[in-house]
Structure 1
Amino acid sequence: MKLVMKKELERICNAALEKQGYSKEDAARISEVLIATDMFGIHSHGTKNLYMYIEKMKQGGIDIKADPEFIVEGPAFAVLDAKDCIGMKGTRIAIDKAVKLAKETGVAYVGVKNSCHFGAGTFYVAEMAKQGMFGMIMSNVDPNMAVPGGKGMTLGNNPIAYAFPRKGQHPITFDIALSVVAALKINKAKMYHQEIPDSWMVDPDGIPTTNPQYYQEGGALLPMGGHKGYGFSLLVDALSGFMTSGNTCKDIESWCFNLPNKNRVSHAIICIDISKVNPDGHFEDIEEDYLQYILNSPKAKGTDHLMVPGQREWEKYDKDEANGVRIPEDVADSLLKLADSINEKIDWRDIDE
């Protein structure tokens, strides 16, 4: 594991993006999402992917010069055509719009079409919560799940994240994909030739399997809770794809397996100004009373303490903010390739996990 200061990560990531032609402001806003994601400990969606995003730019899969445009606007809603820009750029524009509209009307919906992988939803919903909002974001993705009773990759494990503010503390944040487990866990088992629980995926015939080698070879992930994950996957496509006249999962190609091709995912953002909907100001008191009720509920044998959603991520974030960002070796390897590509060296050091 490596330890690198946040400012050093910003320097490397910003330099790599600016070399591709991004303005200093855009480079900083993109890098901020990726670095914060590493600080949350969601390393599969953080700076590790910047090298691949830039390769996708070079091969035409991301339009560096894209200027996202709002094609629908109303008092409490909008739709953004991201025009194949990098996901973080378009999504941050959409988040800013959602907050602005919610401050005016109390609630807002902003949809995004023709976007690219935006990383982890935690960053975006936390940004809304820090401004006194309830925030939710979701995105469709390329097919990787089977329909219950079906076979093959038909549904996307479309991620959903939400956050709401907490008085005097970090927001409550929750961020999941809709499969039983992330594809990352399947790929890791595949790499090390390990068996997996048969509740994670099905083989090419739609039969539960313990063999991860079937993934990307006719097999498919299973939705969490069976019909429940299926229903939520459809909801995400409805709010993001149907609502924006954008792509649904059946029309989406993987952002990372087909670098020259456009990803063209669709997102949906919902933002509520709590101060407008709850003008008596009791939201935070009721919230804290309820959270303490949860945290003080009976613990199972061997459990030291209970946690609220997002607590583990915020604890890592605070530690990294104070002492430097801890990144695993696979992330370090990708950052090293990124730095080499722009003739830069990274100032970091080895640490024990």
Structure 2
Amino acid sequence: MKDESSNGIFSFASLRRFTTSVFEHFNVPRKDAILAADVLAYSDEHGIDSHGIARLETYYDLLKIGRINPNPVISIVREKASVATVDGDNGLGLVVGPKCMQMAMKKAEEFGSGWLSVRNTNHYGAAGYYPVMALKHDLIGLSMTNTTAGVAPFLGAEKMLGTNPIAIAFPGFNEPPVLIDFASSTVSYGKVEIANRKGEEVPLGWCIDKNGNPTSDPSEMINGGALLPLGSDANGSGHKGYCLASMVDILTSVLSGANWGPFAIPFAIHVAPLEKQVGKGIGHFFGAYDIDGFRDRTEFKKEIDEWIVTMRNTKPQPGAEKVLIPGDPERIAYQKRIIEGIPVDKEVLKSLRIIAEETGIELAQNS
């Protein structure tokens, strides 16, 4: 008898196989299914529990009712040298995203930089996955996406913007890359979900309730409340998070012709698509830069190494062990999880077992 009340530990290979098979179950081509599973696995393997296997249930439900196209024809609808707008044909964001990042990288190799604004797509996983793709080609990579409205604008009391994350990565020479990946809200929605599943409170400053008042109860945010922009309020310079979210919204969606702001397509089975749409799907934005167009690539990477060493040697604050560089927490999590396995919350595990039962796909916990 399986214990339904406890968390699970899975090998990374087991979760990848299961996820790939689930996507294939809906006639997603095998290469695309492997790619989509890789994007989700990146999150779980690097400690980003809010964007990995925990999201599989929603993809599964949306594919089941035909809200996502399993075999999209991705097309360039407008193009001029290093820039283009791409239509994702309502495909999995986990497939559309990597293919568009590849296009941006190809343009960077040809023109020195590549910029793609993408419409008619959906949730694309962790923003950091895409700059890492560019690192493998010694390029600087950037990605952004708008998301379902869940964040109040600065001084606002209702959801009008998504968490709208930004990610960029710079390659090092001997040191690891600098990988910056953060939501333009105080936290991602997934962290509030995780706290709600665990029955825990969240810090004041993360969110407000349906009346616009600060709350530490995650359920009050989920049921009619909103997240706050990075910085939260006037004392924390919350206008800066609002400006970042606005920039992402405009580059990903106004520029591409996707739904922006409160019109972004909900990534949830229980939320019907909005009656009013101002574009197609949600939007992404990808960029890639050829370092050689700025300075010698090797010199740049060696100086990144020096930058990293300098930052790591910063005197830490009292009570802090040491100063990390952006990307260190994910690398630390990866080194641990690849050996010890991927922890899966009991509520997420329950959803995976339902998927396994409905599809007949084996969910092997110890392989």
TM over 0.5: yes
Q: Counterparts of 1:82-97 in structure 2 under 5 Å?
A: 82-97=88-103
Q: How does 1:198-217 map to 2 (within 5 A)?
A: 198-217=204-223
**Does 2:248 correspond to 1:231?**
no
Partner of residue 242 from structure 1, selected from 245, 251, 254? 254
Cα gap change, 1:323/1:131 in structure 2, threshold over 3 Å: closer, same or farther?
farther
Answering whether residue 279 of structure 2 is matched by residue 252 of structure 1, we say no
Give the whole-Å Cα distance in 2 for the aligned partners of 1:316 and 1:16: 26
For residues 27-106 of structure 1, what are the structure 2 equivalents within 5 Å? 27-106=33-112
Once the two structures are superposed, residues 315-348 of structure 1 have per-residue CA deviations (whole angstroms, 9 ceiling, x without a partner) of 2223334554444434433332332232133332
1:110 to 85, 93, 116: 116
Matched positions, count: 350
Q: Which amino acid aligns with 1:278?
A: R
> CA separation in 2, counterparts of 1:218 and 1:110?
34
CA distance in 2, matches of 1:54, 1:210: 31
Residues 174, 302 of structure 2: 8 Å contact kept: no
User: Structure 1 residues 95, 148: CA separation in 2 closer, same or farther (over 3 Å shift)?
Assistant: same
Greater alpha carbon shift after TM alignment, 280-289 vs 133-142: 280-289
Sort the Cα spacing of 1:99 and 1:286 in 2 relative to 1 into closer, same or farther, 3 A. same
Q: Secondary structure at the match of 2:215?
A: coil
**In 2, Cα distance between the equivalents of 1:71 and 1:327?**
40
Which whole-Å CA distance do the structure 2 matches of 1:325 and 1:149 have between them? 39
Q: Which moved more, 1:12-21 or 1:105-114?
A: 12-21
1:314 aligns with 2:331: yes
Displacement of 1:26 in angstroms is 1.0
Residue 268, structure 1, aligned to residue 282, structure 2 = no
| 1:11 CA displacement | 2.2
Q: Which amino acid aligns with 2:361?
A: E
Distance in 2 (alpha carbons) for counterparts of 1:46 and 1:94: 20
- Aligned match of 1:285: 302
2:29 equivalent in structure 1: 23
Per the TM alignment, residue 170 of structure 1 is displaced from its structure 2 partner at its CA by: 3.7
Q: Which moved more, 1:322-331 or 1:2-11?
A: 322-331
Distance of 2:67 and 2:336 partners within structure 1:
36
- Counterparts of 1:50 and 1:198 in 2: how far apart (Å)? 29
8 Å CA contact 1:85, 1:116 repeated in 2: yes
Match of 2:168 in 1: 162
Q: Note the alpha carbon deviations across 1:223-263, whole angstroms, 9 max, x for none.
A: 11210011011101111112112211221132114466498
In structure 2, distance between residues paired with 1:210 and 1:12: 36
- Residues 331 and 127 of structure 1, relative CA distance in 2, 3 Å threshold: farther
Distance 1:116 1:299 in 2: 40
In structure 2, which of residues 206, 226, 251 is the aligned counterpart of residue 220 of structure 1?
Answer: 226
Higher mean displacement: 23-32 or 212-221? 212-221
1:61–1:259 Cα contact (<8 Å) kept: no
Equivalent pair of 2:11/2:366 in contact (CA under 8 Å):
no
Q: Which residue of 2 aligns with 1:145?
A: 151
1:112–1:266 Cα contact (<8 Å) kept: yes
Computed over aligned residues only, the root mean square deviation of the Cα atoms, in angstroms, reads 2.4
Q: Would you say the 8 A contact 2:58–2:269 is kept in 1?
A: no
Unaligned runs of 5+ in 1: none
Deviations 1:249-303 (A, max 9, x none): 2211321144664981101111111133223631112111111111111112232
Following superposition, the deviation at residue 307 of structure 1 comes to 1.2
Is 1:127 matched up with 2:124?
Answer: no
2:163–2:189 CA contact under 8 A, matched in 1: no
Q: In 1, Cα distance between the equivalents of 2:161 and 2:333?
A: 33
